[in-house]
């Protein structure tokens, strides 16, 4: 890497800046040798619940565990159907399968990249029937009940929760937010006329603290947030081998606990998260401004009036994505693709029998999206250079030509 190179994500600077705080956390942990659970985990859980405006938080070992535990605790059972979107990280659908259920998909809104609530209604109305006795909705073809929906707050922006919650309440379906990319994102509910934080709206929500997320551990970590005491209690059992107290196993669970040291690091970093999210928003605004005028050539992220995104990623669409990515890489600019294969077409899901054309919006976006450098501390100069190189590659001569 040369000095002019611009990484897709800079994780080094922030950890260097906070080194002293992290050393204090380590010293505290070493003093008590309480490496699993204990006051550091509890302290983080309380702080993170407050941050999300949720009543309860259960720290776990990863975002994948958080999703799996939340689904099981919400009552998802073997052979149920759980609906999500095709354009997410595979952990979303892995958690569904690992809970014993079968993932199925609804397509996304082309502008927000999140679940299209209209298509969710359509799925439940056209492909399913309501059983008054069991108060469940059953998929016509397979006879399986649809018991949960997992909207994914992708790239740091929340899905349109009002209509999703409405239709799910109507059909007695649980809503588990995949908030792994959306720590601090907000949604304006037209129904209650106020803003809500990601992780406070569904029956439960899953967060990942994988290092590259907006709030990242120095290793693996995750959390479930919920306002439902029973869901929280079941998640606490599930993360710790089903133990209500040591060696008294109420159910079979998993080893899915949150390390005390990671909880301590996360608690220290959580204080900085509002500032970091604000820096991401400012960086996104600057990109938006620099690209203004290139509409039709570069499709920019769309933020509806009901959304305050935390820009986990800044994702654009261009016609020839492969060429742009190669040219940026040639001049030392890092990019990413989140994600190149819509999950219904992934090899892992071959047996589900989906075909190209089943979810055209997700498929089209998978072919054209490109994530540009985005992290707190990304400078104006770096962004100007990214935009100049993007426009050069797309044969638009300079930023000023567009002004």
Ligand X SMILES: *Cc1c(COP(=O)(O)O)cnc(C)c1O
| 194-197 and 186-189 beta bridge pairing | antiparallel
Taking the complex as a whole, the smallest distance from the CB of residue 266 to ligand X amounts, in Å, to 12
DSSP string, 63-119: HHHHHHHHHHHTT--TT-EEEE-SSS-THHHHHHHHTT-EEEE--B-TTT-SB-HHH
Helix (H, G, I), strand (E, B) or coil at 225: strand
Taking the complex as a whole, the smallest distance from the CB of residue 394 to ligand X amounts, in Å, to 28
Residues that bind ligand X in the complex, under the rule CB under 6 A: 62-64, 88-89, 91-92, 152, 178, 180-181, 208, 210, 222
Taking the complex as a whole, the smallest distance from the CB of residue 158 to ligand X amounts, in Å, to 12
Taking the complex as a whole, the smallest distance from the CB of residue 203 to ligand X amounts, in Å, to 17
In this complex, which beta carbon is closest to ligand X, that of residue 64 or of residue 309? 64
162: left (phi over 0), alpha (psi -120 to 50) or beta: alpha
In this complex, which beta carbon is closest to ligand X, that of residue 222 or of residue 301? 222
Q: How far apart are CA 86 and CA 103, in angstroms?
A: 10
In this complex, which beta carbon is closest to ligand X, that of residue 156 or of residue 373? 156
Q: Kindly state the tokens that stand for 174.
A: 């649980």
Taking the complex as a whole, the smallest distance from the CB of residue 389 to ligand X amounts, in Å, to 27
- Cβ atoms of 80 and 102 closer than 8 Å: yes
What Rg do the C-alpha atoms of the chain give, in angstroms?
22
Taking the complex as a whole, the smallest distance from the CB of residue 212 to ligand X amounts, in Å, to 8
In this complex, which beta carbon is closest to ligand X, that of residue 208 or of residue 382? 208
Residue nearest to ligand X (CB): 63
Q: How far apart are CA 3 and CA 7, in angstroms?
A: 10
296 class by beta-carbon count within 10 Å (0-12 exposed, 13-18 middle, 19+ buried): exposed
Taking the complex as a whole, the smallest distance from the CB of residue 91 to ligand X amounts, in Å, to 4
Alpha helices, DSSP H, located in 85-211: 91-98, 117-126, 161-170
In this complex, which beta carbon is closest to ligand X, that of residue 87 or of residue 136? 87
In this complex, which beta carbon is closest to ligand X, that of residue 171 or of residue 339? 339
In this complex, which beta carbon is closest to ligand X, that of residue 64 or of residue 234? 64
């Amino acid at each position: 890497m040369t000095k002019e190179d611009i990484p897709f994500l800079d994780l080094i600077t922030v950890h260097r800046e906070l080194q002293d705080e992290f050393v204090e956390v380590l010293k505290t942990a070493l003093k008590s040798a309480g490496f699993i659970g204990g006051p550091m985990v509890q302290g983080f859980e309380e702080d993170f619940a407050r941050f999300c405006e949720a009543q309860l938080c259960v720290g776990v070992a990863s975002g994948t565990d958080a999703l799996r535990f939340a689904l099981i605790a919400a009552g998802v059972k073997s052979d149920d159907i759980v609906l999500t979107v095709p354009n997410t990280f595979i952990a979303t659908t892995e958690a569904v399968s690992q809970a014993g259920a079968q993932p199925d998909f609804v397509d996304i809104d082309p502008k927000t990249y999140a679940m299209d609530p209209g298509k969710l209604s359509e799925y439940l109305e056209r492909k399913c029937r309501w059983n008054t006795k069991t108060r469940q909705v059953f998929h016509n073809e397979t006879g399986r009940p649809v018991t949960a929906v997992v909207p994914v707050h992708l790239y740091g922006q929340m899905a349109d929760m009002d209509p999703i919650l409405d239709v799910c309440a109507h059909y007695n379906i649980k809503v588990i937010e995949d908030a792994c990319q959306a720590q601090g994102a907000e949604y304006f509910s037209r129904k209650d006329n106020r803003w809500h934080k990601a992780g406070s709206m569904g029956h439960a929500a899953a967060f990942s603290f994988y290092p590259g997320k907006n709030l990242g551990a120095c290793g693996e970590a995750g959390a479930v947030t919920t306002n439902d005491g029973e869901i929280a209690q079941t998640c606490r059992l599930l993360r710790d081998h089903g133990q209500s107290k040591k060696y008294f196993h109420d159910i079979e669970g998993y080893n899915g606990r949150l390390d005390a040291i990671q909880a301590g690091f996360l608690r220290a970093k959580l204080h900085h998260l509002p500032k970091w999210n604000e820096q991401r928003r400012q960086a996104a605004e600057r990109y938006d401004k620099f690209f203004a005028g290139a509409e039709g050539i570069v499709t920019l992220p769309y933020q509806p009036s009901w959304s305050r995104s935390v820009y986990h990623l800044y994702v654009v669409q261009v016609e020839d994505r492969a060429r742009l990515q190669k040219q940026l890489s040639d001049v030392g600019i890092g990019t990413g693709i989140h994600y190149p294969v819509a999950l219904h077409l992934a090899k892992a899901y071959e047996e589900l029998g989906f075909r190209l054309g089943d979810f055209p919006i997700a498929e089209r976006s998978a072919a054209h999206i490109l994530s540009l450098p985005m992290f707190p501390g990304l400078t104006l100069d770096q962004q100007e250079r990214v935009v100049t190189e993007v426009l050069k590659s797309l044969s638009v001569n300079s930023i000023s030509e567009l002004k």
